Structure 1
Amino acid sequence: MNIKNREKEIEEIVNGVFKIIDKDNIDEIKYDVISRGCPHEPKGLPKNKMGIYMFIYGDRFLKIGRVGNKSNARFVSQHYNPNSSKSNLAKSILKDEDMKDFNLDEKSVGKWIKDECFRIDILVDDSLGIRALSVIESILQYKYKPIYEGFKSQR
């Protein structure tokens, strides 16, 4: 499936979730599905927004996560630097035996992610609360089964 079709499908999923959780106010719910493209450059969270981020390499989702309105560093930079947090995309890629052929290291993995992965962001008004964001994230993770989510012992 090409990335434009994925974006449309993701937007339909998000809209469907909002219809379920708040069907009376669906016209007032503000969200944006934004393709950052490939290569991509991450952008910060706008004021009063929460976000979901998705990294896609080829036709595989690598990571889908969410952040509240006070987690701009997580949204913008932590997934590109393996030493920035306990868990992030860069660290997962470096630990993955299937990625060894790319000859990535701590200094090159962030650039590789930006150059080789599509990124799609969903920005949602923070007035909806983190639970609404969690529902969307869970549905997207269930549907797309990102490689670097959960524990191998759970699969």
Structure 2
Amino acid sequence: MNYANEIDSLIQGVSLAIGKPIPREKYEILDRGLPHTQPTRLPFGKMAVYMFLFNSEFLKIGKANHRSNARFCSHHYSLSAPSTLAKSLLADDEMISFNITPSNVKDWIKTNCRRIDIIMDADLGVFALDLIEGIMHYKYEPRYEGFASQR
């Protein structure tokens, strides 16, 4: 599926519908593919919404502002920070059959999860970042966001 086109249509449609269109030249959608290369840094003056998919299921959708380089680049591949994709995978009984271990979780994510990033100009502001993250949450209902009991 071409998620980049769908994501672009969602951003354009919602921002236009609320009367605050987000210009296309202010963001880019990077589908890092499968397997994906882990980003090394969030570009200067940028913020991002990042998404991890396994098969066709969205697992994690998050955001990083211009001061959150670690959250964007490495946070979700490790066990050292709270609330990471790595920790969620290891705690999920349904993922046991994929032989994910603390020692291989980083490589497992890069090999088995598609990553899509929406890189935005920081001057769009935090409300645009929150809006785009919210649109993605609402559309794709990621497995490891929020509490299952609240869905």
TM range (shorter): over 0.9
Residue 68 of structure 1 is matched in structure 2 by 65
User: Counterpart in 2 of 1:52?
Assistant: 49
Aligned partners of 2:147 and 2:24: how far apart in 1?
Answer: 37
Aligned counterpart, 1:22: 20
Q: Secondary structure at the match of 1:114?
A: helix
**% same residue:** 47
Alpha-carbon distance, 1:152 to partner: 2.1
Task: Please give the root-mean-square deviation of Cα atoms over the aligned residues, in Å.
Answer: 1.4
Q: What is the CA–CA distance in structure 1 between the aligned matches of 2:4 and 2:24, rounded to whole Å?
A: 21
Q: Aligned partners of 2:123 and 2:23: how far apart in 1?
A: 15
Measured after TM superposition, the shift of residue 28 of structure 1 is: 7.4
- 2:53 counterpart SS class: strand
Match of 2:131 in 1: 135
**TM score, norm. by length of structure 2:** 0.92
1:42: how far off? Answer: 2.1
Q: What is the count of residue pairs matched by the alignment? A: 149
Equivalent residue number for residue 112 of structure 2: 116
Q: Secondary structure at the match of 2:50?
A: strand
Measured in 1, the distance between the counterparts of 2:24 and 2:37 equals 29
State the one-letter code of the partner of 1:135: L
Unaligned runs of 5+ in 2: none
Partners of 1:61 and 1:75 lie apart in 2 by: 17
Cα offset, 1:48, TM superposition: 0.4
Aligned to 1:82, the other structure's residue is in SS state coil
